[in-house]
Structure formats: C-alpha cells, structure tokens
C-alpha cells in the first residue's frame, strides 16, 4: 500500500536501506513493492539474524507490514 509511513529505527548497529519510498510531510512512506532492508553486523550470521528479527518484532507493526523471518537460515544451516 502506498503512503504508509515507515517505522523509525534507532539502533546504530543496524544498516537500513530503502527502496520504493517517497517523502510526505517530511516522513518516509511506502511507494510500492519491497521498501526496506534491515542489516546487522555481528560476530556471526546467526547473531546478526537474531538482532534484525528482534528489532523488526519490536519496531514494525506486523498488522501493517509483511516481513520475512526466514532469510539467512540456509546460510546458517551449512
């Protein structure tokens, strides 16, 4: 849905990349498709994945957005 305000992230350990967004009234809003990627740097991949997932659970309204918790599992299993 276009025009939906994106959540604000305040964790300096995360890198947030945006795509498919616009600005309305000084706020970043969705403007189609996948709109953000959240990346964490940690001692290992599993810890980074947990940091991202915990942040998404805390910051993102799951009723307003769809996000995946399964990204990275294939690399962790190897």
| Predicted pLDDT of residue 23 | 93
| Predicted pLDDT of residue 78 | 60
Question: HSE-up of 71 (CA within 13 Å, CB side)?
Answer: 12
**Do the strands 14-18 and 36-40 form a parallel or antiparallel pair, or are they unpaired?**
antiparallel
| Predicted pLDDT of residue 65 | 79
Spatial distance between the Cα atoms of 31 and 18, rounded to a whole number of angstroms: 11
Tell me, which fold does domain 1-63 have in CATH?
Answer: 3.90.600
| Predicted pLDDT of residue 43 | 94
Domain ranges of the chain: 1-63
pLDDT in tens, the chain (78 residues): 788 888 888 888 899 999 999 999 999 998 988 888 899 999 998 899 899 989 988 888 877 777 777 777 777 776
């Amino acid at each position: 849905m276009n025009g939906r305000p994106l959540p604000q992230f305040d964790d300096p350990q995360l890198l947030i990349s945006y795509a498919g967004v616009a600005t309305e009234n000084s706020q970043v809003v969705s403007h189609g498709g996948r709109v953000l990627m959240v990346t964490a740097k940690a001692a290992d991949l599993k810890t980074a994945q947990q940091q991202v997932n915990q942040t998404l659970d805390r910051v993102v309204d799951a009723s307003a957005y769809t996000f995946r918790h399964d990204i990275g599992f294939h690399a962790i299993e190897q």
